[in-house]
């Protein structure tokens, strides 16, 4: 951090800042300018250290240097992280296309949807069994029975299964069924859950909270990485803004920003970002052009019968069209699908 002193600050004021930096375990370096002095403080500086500095006499401003996240940052690891799940590689040149229903609703629907996803060219399967619903009166998912259906569908198609974990106590049970643990938008800052999945040997798909900044998403990923789980994917799924025309606002900036500042793979979810099946394809294509490493897309053989998120579900035939176009865009940006 840089501690900027007020004009007219005394040598004693600067000494107090230096001593505080040393007490915090950091190294201070005083730079005397013509009009004012600054103290450059290096070391493992966090928000609390900065907040305390601000309180010292004649300190005008405290400027952070560097990023608050470390393990997730490109400075910590230059090469992109590539996550391997069976035959699927996420974060390399190939793109991940993870498709499936919002939720497992029945064995028939789950298997029919998974077979369709595979048929049109998906390389991953999604599906919820534990659903974080805004209303407690809405369909909550089929729980472990749903996971069994999804596992059967995953085995039948050979596609790796992505499914949401809502409760740290479910971890060992879920590890028996899924290939990737999804942490949903509503749980992005459930720190105990993040720590729990950080102990798992399974990769984690971490969704951005609907009101979370990019920095908060990266700091949430840090909780998982710090526990030793290096296989974290970040997911942009739209954020809340003043716009009401769509379910959420897809933050396209987040994709290149995350790719520039982090080595972790970035997945785009145009389904939750738009909430509208007619907008899923164009937003998906934009995400690939912006540098996403994969897409997470909801499909349903009969969207009008879906128990959750029907309006944003694509028909398998619509997913096929999307994939055909995605291949062209991927090629244009040096990727493949």
Report the interface residues with ligand PEP, using CB under 6 A.
102, 128, 132, 184-186, 207, 237, 272
- CB nearer ligand PEP, residue 38 or residue 96: 96
Taking the C-alpha atoms of residue 227 and residue 181, their distance in angstroms, rounded to an integer, is 15
124-126/161-164 β-pairing: parallel
Q: Which does 237 bind (CB under 5 to 8 A by kind): Mn ion, ligand PEP, none?
A: ligand PEP
Q: How many helices (H) and strands (E) does the chain have?
A: 11, 14
Query: How crowded is residue 1: how many other Cβ atoms within 10 Å of its Cβ?
Result: 21
Stretch that binds Mn ion, among 3-11, 42-50, 227-235, 306-314 (CB under 5 A): 306-314
Task: Tell me the closest approach of the beta carbon of residue 271 to Mn ion, in angstroms.
Answer: 7
The one among 269, 293, 309, 318 contacting Mn ion by CB under 5 A: 309
- CB nearer ligand PEP, residue 13 or residue 293: 293
- DSSP label at 212? -
Task: Tell me the closest approach of the beta carbon of residue 282 to ligand PEP, in angstroms.
Answer: 19
Could you please report the per-residue DSSP string of 282-299?
HHHHHHHHHT-SEEEEEB
Q: Which does 207 bind (CB under 5 to 8 A by kind): Mn ion, ligand PEP, none?
A: ligand PEP
Taking the C-alpha atoms of residue 108 and residue 116, their distance in angstroms, rounded to an integer, is 12
- Dihedral pair phi/psi, residue 267, rounded to 5°: -110, 140
Q: Nearest residue to ligand PEP, using CB? A: 184
- CB nearer ligand PEP, residue 64 or residue 132: 132
Q: Which does 313 bind (CB under 5 to 8 A by kind): ligand PEP, Mn ion, none?
A: none
Task: Tell me the closest approach of the beta carbon of residue 178 to ligand PEP, in angstroms.
Answer: 13
Residue with tokens 């951005």: 208
Closest to 116 in 3D by CA, of 314, 270, 307:
314
- DSSP label at 88? E
Task: Tell me the closest approach of the beta carbon of residue 105 to ligand PEP, in angstroms.
Answer: 13
Task: Tell me the closest approach of the beta carbon of residue 155 to Mn ion, in angstroms.
Answer: 23
The one among 102, 236, 269, 293 contacting Mn ion by CB under 5 A: 102
Structure tokens at 291: 């540098």
Determine, following the binding rule CB under 5 A, whether residue 318 of this chain makes contact with Mn ion.
no
Structure tokens at 298: 């909801």
Task: Tell me the closest approach of the beta carbon of residue 184 to Mn ion, in angstroms.
Answer: 9
């Amino acid at each position: 951090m840089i501690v900027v002193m007020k004009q007219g600050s005394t040598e004693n004021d600067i000494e107090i800042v230096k001593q505080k930096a040393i007490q915090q375990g950091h190294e201070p370096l005083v730079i005397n300018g013509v009009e004012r002095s600054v103290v450059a403080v290096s070391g493992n500086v966090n928000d609390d250290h900065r907040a305390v500095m601000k309180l010292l006499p004649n300190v005008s401003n405290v400027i952070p240097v560097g990023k608050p996240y470390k393990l997730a940052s490109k400075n910590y690891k230059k090469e992109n992280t590539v996550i391997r799940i069976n035959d699927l590689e996420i974060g390399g040149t190939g793109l991940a296309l993870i498709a499936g229903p919002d939720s497992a609703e029945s064995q028939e629907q789950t298997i029919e949807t998974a077979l369709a996803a595979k048929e049109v060219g998906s390389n991953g399967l999604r599906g919820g069994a534990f659903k974080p619903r805004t209303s407690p009166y809405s369909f909550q998912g089929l729980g472990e029975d749903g996971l069994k259906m999804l596992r059967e569908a995953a085995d039948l198609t050979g596609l790796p299964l992505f499914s949401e974990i809502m409760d740290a106590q479910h971890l060992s049970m879920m590890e028996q069924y899924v290939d990737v643990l999804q942490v949903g938008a509503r749980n992005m800052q459930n720190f105990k859950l993040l720590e729990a999945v950080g102990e798992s040997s399974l990769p984690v798909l971490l969704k951005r909270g609907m009101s979370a900044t990019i920095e908060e998403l990266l700091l949430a990923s840090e909780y998982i990485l710090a526990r030793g789980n290096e296989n974290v994917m970040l997911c942009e799924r739209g954020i809340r803004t003043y716009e009401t025309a769509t379910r959420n606002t897809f933050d396209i900036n987040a994709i290149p920003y995350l790719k520039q500042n982090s080595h972790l793979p970035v997945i785009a979810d145009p389904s939750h970002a738009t909430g509208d099946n007619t907008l899923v394809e164009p937003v998906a294509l934009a995400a690939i052009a912006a540098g996403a490493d994969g897409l997470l897309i909801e499909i349903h053989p009969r969207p009008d019968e879906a128990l959750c998120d029907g309006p944003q579900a694509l028909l398998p035939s619509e997913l096929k069209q999307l994939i055909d176009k995605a291949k062209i865009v991927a090629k244009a940006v040096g990727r493949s699908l």
